Amino acid sequence: MKKVFALVLVAGFVSTTAFAGVSNISNNGNVSGVQSWRVECSSGSSYIIYKKSGTWYRGDIGHLGNRYDSWSRDDVASFVCG
């Protein structure tokens, strides 16, 4: 029983730290003809992110930079909330 509890505790810690600062990610419809997401941060801020032609964008500032192109949606969400 202790091993199961420890495993659940570790799994919860890993999933919490993987998205540190992100409280919710939801569908935001299409922006510039591609799927977009609303990222809500635990700080109270929110951002729109989308990936077009292999490049990530944040709705308010535009292109995030080519070094982020290979990142997942969740990675980008954590970055904008960081």
pLDDT 10s digits, 9-46: 444 444 444 566 999 999 999 998 999 999 999 999 99
pTM confidence score: 0.74
pLDDT bracket for residue 3 (50, 70, 90): low
Percent of the chain past pLDDT 90, that is, above it, reads 74
Give which of 82, 75, 72 is closest to 18, Cα–Cα. 75
Q: What is the mean pLDDT of residues 64-74?
A: 96
* Cα–Cα distances in angstroms (integers) from residue 38 to residues 43, 46, 78, in the given order: 14, 7, 12
So what's the pLDDT on residue 62?
94
So what's the pLDDT on residue 17?
45
The rounded distance, in Å, linking the Cα atoms of 41 and 44 is: 5
